[in-house]
Amino acid sequence: MYKASTILAGALAATIATSAAAEGELNLYSSRHYDTDERLYSDFEEATGITINRIEGKADELIARMQAEGENSPADVLLTVDTSRLARAKDAGVLQAIDNATLEARVPGYLQDEDNQWFGFSQRARIIFYDKADVATPPQTYLDLADPAYKGLICIRSSTNTYNQTLLASIVTHHGSEVATQWAEGVVANMARDPQGGDTDQLRGIVSGECEIAVSNSYYFARSIRKNVKGLSDSRDMIGWIFPSQNAEGAHMNLSGGGVAAHAPNRDNAIKFLEYLASDQAQQYFSAGNDEFPAVPGVGLAPSIAALGHFKPDDVNLSEVAKNLPEAQKIFNAVGWK
C-alpha cells in the first residue's frame, strides 16, 4: 500500500558505485518529455562519467526507428510511458532480456516483463475524480463507471489513449472479456461528451461543469497541487477523488519504464543506467520532479503525491495485462468508443 510520507532532505542513497568514473557513453531513446528528468541524467553522468546522448520523440516513432535501424541501431536504452508501449517495444523486437540482481531485488516482480525485457521505474494511479458539490455518491470501482446512475456525467479520454487501453486490458485480466465489454458499453453510454483532450482536460471538464466525473492519472492532479495549472489549480478544492476498487483488486497503476535495446552497443552502460533508475535517489526524483509514485517500495513520496492519501494499488502482473491489450482494442472498436 502507498502511505503518505515526505522526502527527507539529503537522504539520497544511490545503488550504483560512484567511486570511480566509467568510460564511454549511453545512447538514450526516450519518449518521456519532462524537464525534471534533466536532473536524473546529469546526476548519472556525474556519478559514472558516462555521457548520455539523447534522442527524444513519441514512443511509436522511436520504436519504428529502432526497427528500421536494425543491428546498426545506436540505441542503448528505450524509456517510455505505459505498459502498452513497453509491450509494443518488446513485440517489435527492439529490446533484449537482461539478468540483473539489482533490478530483480529492487523492482517488484509484477512491475517487470516476464522475460526481463523491460522494468518499471515510476507509476501513476488511474483514479476517479468528481465534483464534490454535485456527486453525492461517486463511483467506488472502475466497474461502477458503467452504472446508468452516472449517465451523461463522465469525461474520459479516447480509445486511442494508451492509459485507457491498459486500464481496459486490466479489466479484461481481472474480470474477463464479457464483463469488460459490458463495462466499455456502459461508459460510452455515460459519457458527457465525445472523448477529447488529455487527462488535464478531463479534470478541467469538472471545473467548467461540462462533466461531473472524470478519469485521470494521479500525477495530472498532483501537479496542480505542486504548481499552478491553468484552469485547474484555482478550482482544485471543488474536486474530490476516489482510488477505485479498494475492496477488490485496487487502483490501476500506469507504468513508466524502460529496457536495454536489442543491439545496444554500450550494453554495460545501459544496465548501469537502469540500475541507477531503480536507486533511491532516482526514485525520489520521479516523485518530487514529476509527481509520480516510485516503483521501488519504501521510497518516500513528494508532498504533492502524499496529499492524495493512502490507498491499495493493483499488483496484477503487468505482463499478463499486456497480453490482453489486443483484446482491449477489439472491445473499444466493438462498442464504438471513439
Helix, coil or strand: residue 130: strand
- pLDDT attached to residue 39: 85
The stretches in the chain having pLDDT less than 50 are 2-22
Question: Rounded to whole angstroms, how far apart are CA atoms 104 and 112?
Answer: 9
pLDDT tens-digit map of 204-219: 999 999 999 999 999 9
CB half-sphere exposure, 94, CA atoms < 13 A: 29
Q: What is the pLDDT of residue 67?
A: 97
Q: What is the pLDDT of residue 208?
A: 96
Asked if residues 256 and 32 have their Cβ atoms less than 8 Å apart, the reply is yes
Helix/strand/coil (H/E/C) assignment for every residue in 181-218: HHHHHHHHHHECCCCCCCHHHHHHHHHHCCCCEEEEEH
- 274 vs 258: CA distance, rounded Å: 8
- Segments making up each domain of the chain, as ranges: 25-123+254-302, 125-251+323-335
Contact residues for 89 (Cβ-Cβ < 8 A; gap 6+): 59, 63, 66, 78, 80, 95, 117, 118, 259
pTM equals 0.87
Provide the CB-side half-sphere exposure for 175 (13 A, CA). Answer: 19
Instruction: Measure the CA–CA gap between 308 and 302, rounded to whole angstroms.
Output: 11
- The residue type of 166 is T
What's the full length of the chain, in residues?
A: 338
pLDDT tens-place string over residues 46-89: 999 999 999 999 999 999 999 999 999 999 999 999 899 999 99
25-123+254-302 and 125-251+323-335 in the same fold: yes
- Fold exhibited by the domain 125-251+323-335: D-Maltodextrin-Binding Protein; domain 2 (3.40.190)
- Can you give the pLDDT at residue 1? 53
Amino acid at 331: I
Rounded distance between C-alpha atoms, residue 196 and residue 269, angstroms: 41
Of 122, 113, 108, the closest CA to residue 95 belongs to 113
Interatomic CA distance for residues 67 and 70, integer angstroms = 5
CATH 3.40.190.10 for domain 25-123+254-302: yes
